[in-house]
Structure formats: C-alpha cells, structure tokens
Amino acid sequence: MNFPIRGSLHRHGEGCRTVPLAGHVGFDSLPDQLVNKSVSQGFCFNILCVGETGLGKSTLMDTLFNTKFEGEPATHTQPGVQLRSNTYDLQESNVGLKLTIVSTVGFGDQINKEDSYKPIVEFIDAQFEAYLQEELKIRRVLHAYHDSRIHACLYFIAPTGHSLKSLDLVTMKKLDSKVNIIPIIAKSDAISKSELTKFKIKITSELVSNGVQIYQFPTDDESVAEINGTMNAHLPFAVIGSTEELKIGNKMMKARQYPWGTVQVENEAHCDFVKLREMLIRVNMEDLREQTHSRHYELYRRCKLEEMGFQDTDPDSKPFSLQETYEAKRNEFLGELQKKEEEMRQMFVQRVKEKEAELKEAEKELHEKFDRLKKLHQDEKKKLEDKKKSLDDEVNAFKQRKTAAELLQSQGSQAGGSQTLKRDKEKKNLGFL
C-alpha cells in the first residue's frame, strides 16, 4: 500500500497516521542528545533591572546568584537615564551560564521624568534589531551569536505602601509588549505585613485597570502547572536582598540585622525571595527565554518586516513568497528611483532655465547701465567742449580788447608828443619875437 507523504497530509489538513514499531529504533535518545548538546554549548540569560536608584537592585542580583558582581555604584547626578550592561560567565555543576545584567542608572532621579522610559525602550529595540540583522544575513552564525535580547525585566517598586507612581505605570505600559515584566516590591521589610498585603492588592488592581500585561508563569505544563498557578497569585513578589551572612541557630544564613531583630532573606515567612528565585531561575528560566523569542521578538520582527513591505499574503489573500515580495519591492524601488531621477532632472532643467533668465536679466541691466553711463559721458564731454569753446572765445575777445587798448594807448602817446613839440616851437617863436 502506498501512503501519501507527510507534507501533503499537512497541506490538506489531514492528520498523521500512527503506526506501531516492531522493536527498539533508538530515537527515544533524542532528549538526551539535546540535553548533551545544550550543556556543551551553554546557556545565556539576560536580566533587565528597572527601578529608582537606591532600591537595592545590585544587592538583589548578588543575592539571587549567590555571588558578588563587580560594578560601580550609581550616583544621583545623572543628567538622564543610562543603561549599563555587564556580562558574567557562571558555572554550576557542569552547566555554564552567560549572564547579562542590565541596570538603569539614574532612572527616576530627574525632575522631569516624562521621557525616562525612552532609553529603556530604545535599548530593548536595539537588541531585537541586532538579532534581526544577524538573522537576515546570508551567512548566519546564530549558534555562535551572543544573544543580548532581554529575557526578563525585574521591575523594582518602591515600598511606599500606598500606590504605584505614575512613572512606574507609564514605564511598565511601554515595556509590556517588548519584555517579560516581573514586578517586585523592593526592600519590603520597610513596611508592615498588613500594609504589604494591602499594597500588593493595590498594585495588582492598578496594573489591571491600566492594562499593563505582566509576565504570568505558564500553567500549560502539568509538571509545573500547580506551583506556577500558586505563584501567580503571589505577584508582585515582596523581596529583600542581602549578601551578609549571620549565624541563626546552628546555621549561617543571609539576613539583615536591625536593632529590633533579624530579617532572614530565605525565610518565606519574612519575604518572597525564595519564591522569586524558584520562579525566575529554577522553574521558568527556559520559558522566559522562549517567550522572549516566540512572542516579543516575533512581534518586533513582524512589525519591522511589514514596515519594509514584506507580507505573507498578497491582496487576494494568496500565499506570497519571499522571492515575489523581493521582486515586487525591487520593482517598486526602481520605479521610485526612476521617478525621483526624473523629478531631479526636471528640477535641474528648471533651475538652469531660471539661472539663464537671471543671467539674461543681469546682462540686460548691465547693458542699460552701460548705455546710461555712455550717454552721461557724452553729455559731460559736450558740456566740457562747450565750456572750453566759451572760454576760448572769452580769451580771444580779451586779447582783441587788449590789443585795441594797447593801440589806443600808443596812439595817445604819439599824439601827446606831437602837441608838446608844437608848444615848444610856439614858445620859441614867441621868444624870438
């Protein structure tokens, strides 16, 4: 009997046929193979700690992983929110963990807190974008790529005992579609048990009324459904962190010493630290990683590809292949490019024409100015020539008058001399008489 191939069964919506095995084959060792491969490669886990300065974020991280992470203490003088990332290699038994802790330095320290969430959102998106770019490469090396996407966001809430601050609500609302948020009440030993219970109820109510989606521990796996369902009811966790060990009874335990008594970090009657560690590390770490990839990163990836014009189906709801999408996008790009080239050419021609018109107008103005100057020069020259002629006429007239005057003067002198001689002769003649 010929059976149809499995792929065709899936395409036609038919189920796979179950057949019995006559003996041992060996693929039941696949889980062991997967475990061995995963252990040899190691794991990575990235935690984002969001909260105001002084809420004990660094101390809680040291307490959670039972070590002392080196880091500079944060100050309250930051001009804005800065994200500081540190990566550590941890080893427990034969399992290696590359742990990245990202802290929000200066969060909540500014007078204007309106944009405090933006650097956090930008950082998370930047890690998604880096992974997407690696994924889209022709030669991918995802097995060796250091995945820096945030798997869990521990949101530290100040133990005010009243309600959430507007900064907390706005920030969590902006982050809930990008990261798995686990809200925790920091330094919970600062308020009484009755106040803490009311505070938890108030926080949960405000989160629900404002539509903030926090991470819910999964209950679809029967092996952890009961404990996760119980722990979901305890959110947000009220925690205390301390790296100081005190002798209590016959044991050394992490605790905080106060004048009125001792608070034990790992005592579930004192705080929810053990619950947080169980849920975050020992039970749901892999689910947090999976949720980050399948939900938050997938949402970012889909939105990005849709922005780039990629679709799964065409307008007729038919399957659309990547090659067809690429060709359509390429043709669209080439069409736009040609359109822009034509627009630029038209613009260039128009500007050339405008420049030519400007140059012609300038040339016309220069010619007109030259003609005006030339006419003005000719008029001035004619005036000078007329003035010169007038002066020459005056000079000639003056010379003529001068000559006439000199002539008259000489004639007068001659006439005067003749009369004198005549008088002298007359006097002589009279004298003889």
| pLDDT greater than 60 at residue 3 | no
pLDDT given at position 316: 63
Contacts for 160-167: CB closer than 8 Å, 24+ residues apart: 160/199, 161/191, 161/195, 161/196, 161/198, 161/199, 162/199, 162/202, 163/202, 163/203, 163/206, 164/202, 164/203, 164/206, 164/207, 167/108, 167/113, 167/116
Contacts for 409-414: CB closer than 8 Å, 24+ residues apart: none
Most confident stretch, 136-140, 216-220, 322-326: 216-220
Cα 344 to Cα 351: distance, rounded to the nearest angstrom = 10
Cα 266 to Cα 63: distance, rounded to the nearest angstrom = 10
**CB-CB neighbours of 228 under 10 Å:** 20
Q: E strand or H helix at 101, and its extent?
A: strand 95-105
Cα 385 to Cα 380: distance, rounded to the nearest angstrom = 9
One-letter amino acid identity for 268? E
Would you state the torsion angle of the CA atoms of residues 259, 265, 266, 271, taken in this order, to the nearest 10 degrees? 100
pLDDT given at position 201: 95
The residue whose two tokens read 């007078």 is 111
One-letter amino acid identity for 175? L
Which phi and psi (to 5°) does residue 312 adopt?
-80, -25
pLDDT given at position 321: 67
Give the mean pLDDT of 195-213. 95
The dihedral through the CA atoms of 125, 130, 131, 136 has a sign that is positive
Cα 390 to Cα 61: distance, rounded to the nearest angstrom = 112
Band (pLDDT 50/70/90 cuts) for residue 109 is: confident
One-letter amino acid identity for 266? E
Residue 282 tokens, joined: 């020992």
**CB-CB neighbours of 324 under 10 Å:** 12
Band (pLDDT 50/70/90 cuts) for residue 38 is: confident
Write the CB contacts of 270 (distance below 8 Å, at least 6 apart in sequence): 189, 240, 263, 264
pLDDT given at position 305: 85
pLDDT given at position 10: 43
Band (pLDDT 50/70/90 cuts) for residue 317 is: low
| pLDDT greater than 80 at residue 77 | no
Residue of 247, 243, 245, 215 whose CA lies nearest to 228: 215
Residue of 286, 237, 292, 240 whose CA lies nearest to 263: 240
pLDDT given at position 76: 65
Band (pLDDT 50/70/90 cuts) for residue 320 is: low
Predicted TM-score of the model (pTM): 0.72
Per-residue model confidence as pLDDT tens digits over 22-32: 888 888 899 88
Q: Are strands 95-105 and 82-92 parallel, antiparallel or unpaired?
A: antiparallel
pLDDT given at position 74: 65
pLDDT given at position 103: 93
Band (pLDDT 50/70/90 cuts) for residue 137 is: confident
Give the mean pLDDT of 341-345. 92
| pLDDT greater than 90 at residue 128 | yes
Q: Please, where are the H alpha helices in 270-321?
A: 273-277, 285-291, 298-307
pLDDT given at position 7: 39
The DSSP symbol for 292 reads I
Selected residue with higher pLDDT from 212 and 138: 212
In angstroms and rounded to an integer, the radius of gyration of the C-alpha atoms of the chain is 51
* Average pLDDT for the chain: 87
| Whether the Cβ atoms of residue 81 and residue 106 lie closer than 8 Å to each other | yes
Write the CB contacts of 105 (distance below 8 Å, at least 6 apart in sequence): 53, 74, 78, 81, 82, 83, 84
Per-residue model confidence as pLDDT tens digits over 266-312: 999 999 999 999 999 999 999 999 999 999 999 999 999 888 777 76
Name beta bridge partners: 82: 105
Name beta bridge partners: 355: none
Band (pLDDT 50/70/90 cuts) for residue 406 is: confident
Instruction: Identify the burial level of 166 via C-beta atoms within 10 angstroms of its C-beta, where 0-12 means exposed, 13-18 middle and 19 or more buried.
Output: exposed
Among 70-79, 241-250, 290-299, which stretch is predicted with the lowest mean pLDDT?
Answer: 70-79
| pLDDT greater than 50 at residue 425 | yes
Per-residue model confidence as pLDDT tens digits over 366-391: 999 999 999 999 999 999 999 999 99
| pLDDT greater than 50 at residue 4 | no
pLDDT given at position 432: 54
Name beta bridge partners: 88: 99
Give Cα 343 distance to the centre of its chain: 31
pLDDT cut 90: percent of the chain above it: 59
Among 6-10, 164-168, 199-203, which stretch is predicted with the lowest mean pLDDT?
Answer: 6-10
Which phi and psi (to 5°) does residue 139 adopt?
-105, 100
Cα 170 to Cα 173: distance, rounded to the nearest angstrom = 5
| pLDDT greater than 60 at residue 35 | yes
Cα 65 to Cα 91: distance, rounded to the nearest angstrom = 11
One-letter amino acid identity for 65? F
What does the longest C-alpha to C-alpha distance in the chain come to?
Answer: 204
Residue 90 tokens, joined: 């941890």
